[in-house]
Structure 1
Amino acid sequence: MSNRVHVSTGSPWEPVVGYSRAIRVGNVVEVAGTTAMKDGKVIAVGNAYEQTKYIIQSIEQVLEQVLEQVGATLSDVVRTRMFVTDISAWEDIGRAHGEYFNTIRPVATMVEVKALIEPDLLVEIEVQAIVDQDRLRG
């Protein structure tokens, strides 16, 4: 097995739940489900478009952190999975997703779920990236 690199953002929940914010095995990077929360508060309550933008920006920051350790960027994303609490908001969520991924064009899945961890969260996104071997560090 290739070296396994764990990336933490220092969330108090990472050790309690037993997860990493991101992990790299070989040239594959997986980023855990990401929501629109900052300092324990939901961002853009009631606005799926703004929550989606915030989430993708957060994922981009995590990938930049991974970049420092292993060499990943948002352009390396090959799959997104979007979990939404109201599928009727798909156009707003899709529009925000397209603003970041319109030229990258990863495969994408959007499914409706009953609820997320906080009632005001409308979207959770996880991504998978594959880093070019020439840029891979660590």
Structure 2
Amino acid sequence: MQNNLNKKLGYLGTPWEEAYGYAQAVQVGNMLYVSGQLSHDSSGNLVGPAPLDAAGKVTDTSNMDVQMRTTYANAAKLLAQFGATLDQVVEEVVYVTDMDAAFAVAGTVRKVAYGTAKPACASSILETPRLAFREQLVEISFTVVLQE
């Protein structure tokens, strides 16, 4: 099938890009759609994984802060591939496995990530029982308007 949208794709080289089959970001015109980002290092290892019990349930959410900070840092690296920064984010959706743990750190983490006391983007936060990896506490997707 021919792609008439002239898409530009971005990747971070994580193992799940190939396994799941997707791009981390897709640019169409001056719009950039960023897949859910998470807390991983350059090798694809989860940073600050939450501890699990024998049944695979999270037992401690205190790593929400490190996971959220790393997720924003990874998003910034991905945006840089397109000559963009978090300043150009117009919308984010934050998915968390524990709303209380997220609210305890999200305000501070977001203000540092965006470099301002009032980040200039629309933001939604949703609680979900589980994300892609059991030890994962947060995932954030972004919509970005690129410079013309």
TM-score range, shorter chain: 0.7 to 0.9
User: Which residue is equivalent to 1:60?
Assistant: 76
Larger Rg: 2
Q: How does 1:98-113 map to 2 (within 5 A)?
A: 98-101=111-114, 102=116, 103-113=118-128
Q: Distance in 2 between matches of 1:16 and 1:86?
A: 27
Report whether the alignment pairs 1:42 with 2:69.
no
RMSD of equivalent CA atoms: 1.7
Letter aligned with residue 145 of structure 2: I
Q: What percentage of residue pairs aligned between the two structures are identical?
A: 26
Structure 1: give runs of 5+ residues left out of the alignment. 134-138
Matches within 5 A, 1:115-134: 115-133=130-148
User: Aligned AA for 2:25?
Assistant: A
**Aligned pairs, number:** 129
1:28 is aligned with what amino acid?
Answer: M
Q: CA offsets, 1:28-85, max 9 Å, x none?
A: 0111111112234321234111111110011000001122xxxx22211111110000
Q: Which runs of 4+ in 1 moved over 3 A?
A: none
CA contact (8 A) 1:77 1:104 kept: no
TM-score by length of 1: 0.84
Unpaired runs of 5+ residues, structure 2, are 50-61
* Superposition deviation, residue 7 in structure 1: 1.2
Equivalent residue of 2:14, what SS? coil
Alpha-carbon displacement from aligned partner over 1:2-30 (angstroms, at most 9, x marks no partner):
52111122223223322101110010011
> How far, CA to CA, are the matches of 1:104 and 1:130 in structure 2?
15
Q: TM-score, normalised by structure 2?
A: 0.79
| Equivalent in the alignment of 1:76 | 88
8 A Cα contact 1:77 1:128, kept in partner: yes
> Is the 8 Å Cα contact of residues 82 and 126 (structure 1) preserved in structure 2?
yes
State whether residues 36 and 42 of structure 1, in contact with CA within 8 Å, keep that contact through their aligned partners in structure 2. Answer: yes
- Whichever structure has more helix as a proportion of its residues is 1
The DSSP-based 3-state class of the residue aligned with 1:41 is coil
In 1, are the aligned partners of 2:96 and 2:125 still within 8 Å (CA)?
yes
Choose between structure 1 and 2: higher strand proportion: 1
